C-alpha cells in the first residue's frame, strides 16, 4: 500500500503556510529548515518552549514542521489549538484545510478553506466537491495557468485514476521548470499506478539522490522493489528507512511499518 495523497514534498508551497510569520528565528533554526531537517527543527522549538514563553509564532512553525514531516495529526492538533485563540490569524484556516486534505478528510478540508479570508488556495479545495467531468471541465476553464492551479488539477486527475492526464500536466510544467524536483516524484507515483515500475523506479532513484531521507520516496521505492523483485528486497529497504527515522514517529513511519508487516505476513503465508 502506498499513501497516494502524501508526497515527500507536498504540493502546497511553504510560503502559503507561513507567509504571515513575522518573527525571525535563530540561525540554527533556519539551518534546520534549509536542510529540511524537520525533526531537528521541532526538537529546537520544543526546547525553546520549555525555556521561554511560547507564542503563536512558535505554534505556526511547529505546525509547519510537523506538516512537512508527514505528522499531519500533530499539525492538525496544533492548528485546532490556535484557532481557539482570539489573536489567531485567519490564514490558519487554510493551513488547517491543507492538513485535513492530507489526512483524507476532504469535506472538512473544503469547509475549513471557506472559513478564512480569501486565499489563492481556497478555490483549489472546491475541486474536492466536483462529482462529474462536466463540473470539472467548467472549473478547468476558469483556472489560470499558474503552476499551483495546474498541479491542483493534476492531483484531482490522480485521485480519479486519470493517471495519463496527470502525467501530461506534470510534463508540461517540467518543460519550463526542470528544477521542480517534487514533480518527478508525482510522475513516479502515476507510473507506479499504471504498473510501469521500471520508469517509476528511475524517477524515484533520481529524487533520492537529492533527498535520500525522504520517507515517502523511500516507501515508494520499496513498493516498486516488491513488485519487481519480491518481498525480501522491499523489506530490507523498509527496515533501513525505519532505522533512519527511529527518533521520530509520524503518519509516514506508521505507513512504512504497516507495509513491512504486510510483506512479512506475505512471506509467512507463502511458507505455510
Range among 6-15, 38-47, 75-84, 149-158 rated most confident: 75-84
Q: What share of the chain in percent tops pLDDT 90?
A: 28
Q: Where are the domains of the chain?
A: 28-127
Residue-averaged pLDDT of the chain: 79
- Is residue 192's pLDDT more than 90? yes
Q: What is the pLDDT of residues 222-243, one digit of tens each?
A: 989 989 988 888 888 888 877 7
Range among 176-185, 215-224, 244-253 rated most confident: 176-185
The pLDDT confidence band at residue 169, using thresholds 50, 70 and 90, is very high
**Which residue in 35, 32, 87, 84 sits closest to 62, CA to CA?**
32
- Is residue 3's pLDDT more than 50? no
The pLDDT confidence band at residue 1, using thresholds 50, 70 and 90, is very low
pTM score: 0.61
Buried b (16+ CB within 10 A) or exposed e, 90-119: ebbbbbbbbbbbbbebbebbbebbeebeeb
- Is residue 200's pLDDT more than 80? yes
Element (H, E) at 254: helix 251-271
Report the top-level CATH class of 28-127: mainly alpha
Amino acid at each position: 500500500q502506498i499513501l497516494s495523497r502524501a508526497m515527500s514534498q507536498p504540493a502546497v508551497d511553504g510560503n502559503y503556510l507561513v507567509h504571515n510569520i513575522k518573527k525571525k528565528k535563530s540561525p540554527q533554526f533556519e539551518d534546520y529548515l534549509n536542510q529540511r531537517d524537520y525533526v531537528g527543527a521541532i526538537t529546537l522549538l520544543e526546547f525553546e518552549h520549555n525555556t521561554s514563553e511560547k507564542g503563536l509564532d512558535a505554534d505556526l512553525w511547529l505546525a509547519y514542521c510537523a506538516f512537512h514531516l508527514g505528522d499531519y495529526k500533530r499539525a492538525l492538533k496544533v492548528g485546532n489549538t490556535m484557532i481557539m485563540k482570539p489573536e489567531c490569524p485567519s490564514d490558519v484556516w487554510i493551513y488547517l484545510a491543507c492538513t485535513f486534505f492530507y489526512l483524507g478528510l476532504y469535506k472538512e478540508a473544503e469547509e475549513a478553506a471557506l472559513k478564512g479570508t480569501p486565499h489563492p488556495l481556497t478555490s483549489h479545495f472546491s475541486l474536492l466537491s466536483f462529482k462529474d467531468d462536466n463540473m470539472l471541465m467548467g472549473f478547468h476553464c476558469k483556472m489560470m495557468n499558474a503552476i499551483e492551479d495546474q498541479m491542483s488539477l493534476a492531483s484531482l486527475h490522480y485521485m480519479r485514476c486519470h493517471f495519463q492526464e496527470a502525467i501530461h500536466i506534470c510534463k508540461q510544467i517540467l518543460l519550463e521548470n526542470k528544477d521542480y524536483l517534487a514533480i518527478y516524484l508525482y510522475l513516479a507515483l502515476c507510473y507506479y499506478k499504471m504498473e510501469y515500475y521500471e520508469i517509476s523506479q528511475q524517477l524515484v532513484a533520481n529524487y533520492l539522490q537529492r533527498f535520500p531521507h525522504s520517507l515517502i520516496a523511500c516507501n515508494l521505492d520499496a513498493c516498486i522493489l516488491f513488485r519487481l523483485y519480491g518481498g525480501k528486497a522491499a523489506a530490507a529497504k523498509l527496515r533501513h528507512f525505519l532505522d533512519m527515522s527511529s527518533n521520530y514517529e509520524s503518519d509516514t513511519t506508521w505507513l512504512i511499518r504497516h507495509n513491512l508487516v504486510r510483506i512479512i505476513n506475505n512471506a509467512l503465508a507463502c511458507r505455510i
